[in-house]
Amino acid sequence: MKVKVISRSTDEFTRERSQDLQRVYHNYDPTLRPQEKAVEYVRALNAAKLEKIFARPFIGAMDGHTDGVSCMAKNPNYLKGLFSGSMDGDIRLWDIANRKTVCQYPGHQGAVRGLTVSTDGRILVSCGTDSTVRLWNVPVATLTESDDSSDNSAEPLAVYVWKNAFWAVDHQWDGDLFATSGAQVDIWNHNRSQPVNSFQWGTETVISVKFNPGEPNVLATTASDRSIVLYDLRMSSPARKVIMRTKCNSISWNPMEPMNFTAANEDCSCYSYDARKLDEAKYVHMGHESAVMDIDYSPTGREFVTGSYDRTIRIFQYNGGRSREIYHTKRMQRFLHSLVYFIYLISSVLIETWFL
């Protein structure tokens, strides 16, 4: 009887020359790989973590302003265009794709506090601490692309001087009215040098103002007396008011569900409200470690981005209590009121740009 026993010769199982590849043998018997399912699970988890570590959300910095950037606005008709205003009164139009200044708008004395673009994308409205509202012509997109010459400056279409310094401005989504805030809320028309309407509730400074994207006559403001006030332009007086425990620095409407808005509060969290039911917040978004300075919704209305005094940017789900993503870099500083974050979400690819 012949009995066979395993015997392996080294020559058979190793490479002949040192330049050869190592020989590889496979045996797919599951008993050789115990707990394979758990191992695969851990591998998938590690791969997801590594992908997050190596993701690079920072696209690039745009250099040019000589002082801190205080406000930004995006052009609703031309996604490559981005306006920014700085503390020294300088307003620039940027081409995000090329990261270059397309146009400069000199004129403001003192800080620019608010920027907004009309719905058709033709007119830029700016306001500042020098108590002026300036209207500017936005160059047509095709022209700016063909024009590769150095920075060209523009003259304002109109300059309206008013009684007090301004803190914020927002344009109606559908119409030609815009609202400024400061000591009171003023509603302006493009063609008139005086506000067409003024609202006041209390004597405190109104910090931010935002028009409702669905209902063109409704706007929300936050004031330094810790209040959030809703206005309706068809009525002569403010509509609703909520007093919070701490001040709200900024407010943003959900563009897809325009009855909902989210307020960025000093107490490190954001509060989402239903405008029809202001007695309690629908969601509280926690996570920041310092006052939330600004907030902006993504065009899909599913997420929003917040910037905080703790030098981080966070992305929240519209209904999520905790942030989905945190970004921070060394260069981000604690600029009080002057750092405004801005985000584009284009088909789930995150293009993010921040200014210092």
Partner 1 sequence: MDELVYSVEKLNTEVRETVRDVVFLHNELFFAAAQKKYPYIYNRDGTELHCLKEHGAVLKLQFLRNHFLLASINKSGHLHYQDVTMGEMVGNFRTGLGRSDVMQVNPFNGVIALGHSSGTVSMWKPTTSAPLIKMLSHQGPISALAFHPNGHLMATSGKERKIKIWDLRKFEVLQTLPGHAKTLDFSQKGLLASGTGSFVQIFGDLSGSQNYSRYMGHSMAKGYQIGEVLFRPYEDVLGIGHSTGWSSILIPGSGEPNFDSWVANPFETSKQRREKEVRTLLDKLPPETIMLDPSKIGTVRQARKKEKPTKEEREAEMEAAVEDVKSITMKKKTKGRNKPSKKAKKKQELVVKAKRPFLEQQMKEQALSKKKQKTREDVELPSSLQRFARKKTT
Q: Which residues bind partner 1 (CB under 8 A)?
A: 3-6, 8, 10, 13-14, 22-35, 37-43, 46
The distance of closest approach from Cβ of residue 4 to partner 1 in the complex, given in angstroms and rounded to an integer, is 6
Collapsing DSSP to helix, strand or coil, 126 comes out as strand
- CA dist., res. 182 & res. 186, Å (int): 8
Q: Please identify, using beta-carbon distances, which residue of 44 and 284 lies nearer to partner 1.
A: 44
Q: Which two tokens stand for residue 317?
A: 């789900």
Please identify, using beta-carbon distances, which residue of 32 and 143 lies nearer to partner 1. 32
Sign of CA dihedral 111, 265, 223, 133: positive
Beta strands in 244-348 (DSSP E): 248-253, 260-265, 270-274, 283-285, 292-297, 303-308, 313-317, 323-327, 343-346
15 vs 324 by CB, closer to partner 1: 15
Q: Which is nearer to partner 1, 27 or 66 (CB)?
A: 27
Nearer to partner 1, 30 or 52 (CB): 30
For residue 330, the minimal CB distance to partner 1 (Å) is 29
d(CA 213, CA 230): 14
Listed in sequence order, the residues at least 6 apart from 226 whose beta carbon sits closer than 8 Å to its beta carbon are: 243, 244, 245, 246, 247, 248
Helix (H) or strand (E) holding 10: helix 10-13
For the CB of residue 19, give the shortest distance to partner 1 in the complex, in Å.
Answer: 14
| Residue number with CB closer to partner 1 (24 or 143) | 24
Least Å from the CB of residue 107 to partner 1: 59
Q: Which residues contact 183 (CB under 8 A, 6 or more apart)?
A: 163, 164, 200, 203, 205, 206
Token representation of residue 11: 């020559």
Q: How far is the CB of 53 from partner 1 (least distance, A)?
A: 14
Shortest distance (Å) from residue 325 CB to partner 1 = 25
CB 89 within 8 A of CB 112: yes
Query: What is the H or E stretch that residue 186 is in?
Result: strand 185-189
3 state SS of 263: strand
Nearest distance from C-beta of residue 30 to partner 1, angstroms? 8
CB 348 to partner 1: min, Å:
25
We find the least distance from the C-beta atom of residue 351 to partner 1, in angstroms, to be: 32
Q: Which is nearer to partner 1, 26 or 163 (CB)?
A: 26
Burial call 313-343: b when 16+ CB within 10 Å, e when fewer: bbbbebebeebeeebeeeebeebebbbbbbb
Is 23 or 282 the residue whose CB approaches partner 1 more closely?
23
Whole-number Cα distances in Å, 242 to 230, 252, 286, 318: 9, 16, 20, 21
Between 11 and 148, CB nearer to partner 1: 11
